[in-house]
Amino acid sequence: MKTIKGPAIFLAQFAGDEAPFNSLDALAGWVAALGFKGVQIPSWDARLFDLRTAADSRTYCDDIKGVLAQHGIAITELSTHIQGQLVAVHPAFDEMFDGFADPAVRGNPKARQQWAVEQLLLAAKASANLGLTDHASFSGALAWPYFYPWPQRPAGLVEAAFDELGKRWLPILNAFDAAGVNIGYEIHPGEDLHDGITFEMFLDRVQHHPRANILYDPSHLLLQQLDYLGFMDAYKDRIRLVHVKDAEFNPTAKQGVYGGYQPWIDRAGRFRSLGDGQIDFGQIFSKLAANDFEGWAVLEWECCLKHPEDGAREGAEFINHHIIRVTEKAFDDFADAGTDAEANRRILGISE
């Protein structure tokens, strides 16, 4: 067994234009003071990171690591959630997702997708230059508008969507393989990879690629009413990254998992700061330890009620409290009487 690394924090929800949130150096000092030991970096945020330069220059990557090391902080992973989303966009979402892309490719879905793929390829190189082994992303979605079959979906529609999704991602996965880096797809509503079944459908299309893995975030599974603990057992060999995020689901006579088009604060399912929701993190951290999870426990703060700075401070304490320092010996070693093969045969009554 291995002791999980952490606590770490995903910086996407904290980056801003005001100090100390407007530079990687300042943010590193802020999170270090809260007790964090690692950061997951959003690769699209130019205030914190230059993805293209990181892909081209190991010197730049060494400088980035040096800035963080001054605060006792390591990089856990890079994230391309925004760019990964744009690898596959259904036309219904073209205008809404255009803002995720470089201004030069907005309004041109084909150019936008090519830009997104290029960003992923840069991320593979940048991750290798930083000495990272895992990467966080989204799959994008072609079939999501049809997740509920009314009117009935035409035969073959979903299969065609997943065939195309696999076709788009396979070259990217091969590039990550060449770089020695795993992609952890965050299993997330709004993505075609939103539960275990859809992840398996994708795996079939990418030839069960060894670099196609999972970013496990229990909040997204709870809000779908999945068995988020059983999911860990089913996919323990594919879970490479973890977002530690809480949630609650309180259905009423008027509202369930679809949320009634309500804002987050009025939804039956809501993201909460760590410890304020319903997720059993004691069991989650126990399973991570038992399953030899090698990665980081990364806080992703999303809460419709609590201030983010309070969520970060409390989150560092929460994760640190839940990380299990695994034992190096069995609890009953004191009662070991010692034996050998012949003794075992005598005990069993099968000695000659």
Alpha-carbon distance of 11 to 39, in angstroms, equals 7
Distances (CA, A) of 8 to 39, 206, 210: 5, 31, 25
Contact 225, 269 (CB under 8 A): no
- 295, burial (CB in 10 Å: exposed 0-12, middle 13-18, buried 19+): buried
Mean pLDDT computed over 92-107: 97
Alpha-carbon distance of 192 to 185, in angstroms, equals 10
Q: What is the pLDDT of residues 208-266, one digit of tens each?
A: 999 999 999 999 999 999 999 999 999 999 999 999 999 999 999 999 999 999 999 99
Mean residue pLDDT across the chain: 96
Q: What is the pLDDT of residues 308-339, one digit of tens each?
A: 999 999 999 999 999 999 988 777 776 677 77
H-helix or E-strand spanning residue 228:
helix 228-234
The model's pTM is 0.95
3-state DSSP call for residue 187?
coil
- Say which CATH class 5-347 falls into: alpha beta
Alpha-carbon distance of 133 to 180, in angstroms, equals 6
Q: Which of 129, 134, 136, 119 is nearest to 56 (CA)?
A: 129
Side-chain half-sphere exposure of 33, counting CA atoms within 13 A: 8
DSSP H helix total and E strand total for the chain: 13, 10
